[in-house]
Every structure is written in structure tokens, then in C-alpha cells.
């Protein structure tokens, strides 16, 4: 379904809301199911697929089945994504995933 990649150099990255390294990208994966919506953050790489679209803000959006993958350039954009897709921030399970090469 998805191929996951990471940067060449492995390192632990923890972002504060106001702090962001311009060279890094954050991958957001929104997974819709019949009982819940799950949101996954990938802080050490990006989640890629073959079909890439762009939204009005120029963010890359990948849609496959009931999953939407979005690449953002700032942690502040995560809040915008939650609002744009009509997700309830209080009830949204949020997971941080570790991207590894297979």
C-alpha cells in the first residue's frame, strides 16, 4: 500500500510547536474507518505513494482507499489539516510513527 522512507541519517527528532528545522518534512497520514478516524505523524521522513496531488496551499496530498497522506512543512500546519478535514481535535487518536527502510 505505502512505501515508507527515512532520511539517510537516523536521529531522534522532537518538535516543539514553535520550533521547526526547515530541512525536515512531516508526513501526516489520516486513516478513515467505519468506527474511528486515526491520525499518524511521521517526524523522521515522509510517507509516499505513486499518485501525488496538491491542495490549494500547495501541500502534497496522496489519497488511496480510505487513507489520506499529507506532507506539511511546519507543525503548525497540522492544526490547519485537522480543521480543513473537519476532524475533532479532542477525539482524534494521534500516533507518531517511526519510518524504517525494509
pLDDT tens digits, one per residue of 74-89: 777 877 877 777 776 6
Is residue 37 a contact partner of residue 30, using CB atoms and an 8 Å limit?
A: yes
User: pLDDT tens digits for 20-52?
Assistant: 555 666 777 777 766 667 777 776 655 555 556
What local confidence, expressed as pLDDT, does residue 18 receive?
Answer: 45
Among the listed residues 17, 28, 4, the one whose alpha carbon sits nearest the alpha carbon of residue 76: 17
| Phi, psi dihedral angles at 82 (to 5 degrees) | -60, -45
pTM check: above 0.75: no
What local confidence, expressed as pLDDT, does residue 4 receive?
Answer: 39
In the predicted model, is pLDDT for residue 95 greater than 70? no
Amino acid at each position: 500500500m505505502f512505501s515508507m522512507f527515512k532520511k539517510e541519517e537516523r536521529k531522534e527528532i522532537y518538535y516543539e510547536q514553535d520550533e521547526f528545522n526547515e530541512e525536515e518534512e512531516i508526513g501526516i497520514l489520516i486513516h478513515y474507518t467505519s468506527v474511528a478516524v486515526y491520525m499518524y505523524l511521521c517526524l523522521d521522513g515522509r510517507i509516499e505513494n505513486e499518485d501525488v496531488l496538491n491542495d490549494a496551499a500547495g501541500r502534497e496530498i496522496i489519497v488511496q482507499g480510505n487513507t489520506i497522506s499529507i506532507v506539511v512543512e511546519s507543525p503548525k500546519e497540522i492544526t490547519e489539516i485537522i480543521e480543513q478535514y473537519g476532524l475533532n481535535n479532542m477525539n482524534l487518536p494521534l500516533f507518531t510513527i517511526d519510518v524504517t527502510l525494509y
